[in-house]
Structure 1
Amino acid sequence: MTDILSKLSEARAIPVVRHADASVAARGASILAENGFPVVEVTFTVPEAANLIASLRDRQPEACFGAGTVMTVAQANAAIDAGAEFIVSPCLAEDVADLCEERAVPYLPGAATPKEVFACWQAGAAVVKVFPAKQAGGPGFVKAVKAVFPDIPLMPTGGIGLDDMQDYLDAGVLCVGLGELFPARDLERGDDGAAMEFVRAAYVRVRGLSKK
């Protein structure tokens, strides 16, 4: 558990890969992992997400891949069997939490209120995903939640861009989930070179940010 917390903290930004085309998702996840981002989340809205995670782990064993939008025990088992090192849900799924505890895999459920944050923590969450962070109140909301739950690691996700990521880090979060890092438009038009250039520039920006 400590190991994944260290990986997430060091990564700062966790790219979220979400796309209806599995080939686009695969190329994007590979580009992210190959160009500086050591931790990548692949959501289960991607077709054959478990197979993609297994393939990514085989090709890039040095990177850390997690599974996102996991809502059922079957999905969680498939993701863990594929090599996912952490499981993320948009909200608390208690049976998934129990499964992750049984299989000793960190669980990161989503919460949008202080009550939900605490419920996730009581259910055994390794990290609580504040989601959707922007709509819930942005950095100010996250900072207020962190003030009353200083021992709960938080990962705000949803509506966050590189331009406001520093504000979330200043609020004391462990890391930030960023869908903006996935270069969907470049990949959709087959311009992997532009996608790689974007990801490399984004990585430089992330590493230039400071953490409290």
Structure 2
Amino acid sequence: MTTPFEIIRSIGVVPVIAIERKEDAVPLADALLEGGLPVAEITFRTAAAAEVIAAMHDKRPDLCVGAGTILDLSSLDAAIKAGSSYGLAPGFDGNIVAAAAKAKLPFAPGIMTPSDLSAAAAAGTKLAKFFPAGPAGGPSFLAAISAPFLHLGITFIPTGGVTEENLPDWLKVKSVVAVGGTWIARTEDIRNGQFAEITRRAKSAVAAVKRAREG
């Protein structure tokens, strides 16, 4: 059985999405699926997050939907109850990592420093979000801080400042398995019903990963 993180690894890019209305959940899922991008990270930055995840999980099971911005145990619980396939966070919280493990939810905590990585490694983390990827120092910085941990098998999804243009630079880093980006399905485009544009960006992002990996 393919795990959510194996799906993410195979695709190479995850749309990071802040969506405001449950009514937009299925149209958004359809736009991503039509664009060949069957994965989504719905962030708990809006009140609608759990309802959106539940709607996508129930109505579009072909979409591998997970929860992002898990900052507390209540959000983790809501994400699990909504049917999230996986979870991510911008930072490292040992209590959340432990609770996710107990619930058997694949979870990627956030890291930005070697100290964060040490804590994540001690907690058994195998996939971490590198955030904020651009402001923190870019691909060369991640390559440098992750080098001492490569033998532990820890891999990364850089998010924050990633674009389709710099995506190839991130994927050149040995420990990066995928990137996360907000450019594919922006909040304002969802609000305005620009789902055809989201499909176009999804197709373009998938093609960009393919070119980078073949290059």
Query: Residue 163 of structure 2 aligns with which residue?
Result: 161
Q: What are structure 2's unaligned runs of at least 5 residues? A: none
Q: Which residue of 1 aligns with 2:207?
A: 204
Q: What is the TM-score with the length of structure 1 in the denominator?
A: 0.89
Any conservation in 1 of the 2:112–2:132 contact (CA below 8 Å)?
A: yes
The share of aligned pairs that are identical, in percent, is: 31
Q: What RMSD in Å do the two structures reach over aligned CA positions?
A: 2.2
Letter in 2 for 1:135: P
Structure 1 alignment gaps of length 5 or more: none
The residue aligned with 1:85 is 85
Deviations 1:43-98 (CA, angstroms, capped at 9, x unpaired): 01122211111110112112211100011112111111211111111111222111
Inter-partner Cα distance in structure 2 for 1:139 and 1:98: 29
Question: Is the Cα contact below 8 Å between 1:129 and 1:156 reproduced in 2?
Answer: yes
- How far residue 191 of structure 1 moved from its aligned partner, in angstroms, is 3.2
1:51-70 correspondence runs (5 A): 51-70=51-70
Moved more, 36-45 or 185-194: 185-194
Q: Normalising to structure 2: TM-score of the pair? A: 0.88
Distance of aligned partners of 1:107 and 1:191 in 2 relative to their CA distance in 1, 3 Å threshold = closer
* Higher RCO (CA < 8 A, seq sep 6+): 2
The 1:4/1:202 distance shift into structure 2, 3 A limit, reads closer
Report the Cα distance in structure 2 between the residues aligned to 1:147 and 1:87, rounded to whole angstroms. Answer: 25
Q: Say if 2:195 is the partner of 1:195.
A: no
Distance in 2 between the 1:26 and 1:18 partners? 14
Distance 1:149 1:21 in 2: 40
Contact residue 31 and residue 196 of structure 1 kept, 8 A: yes
The answer to whether the aligner puts 1:40 opposite 2:43 as a matched pair is: no
Aligned length: 212
Instruction: Find the aligned partners of 2:193 and 2:84 in 1 and give their Cα distance.
Output: 27
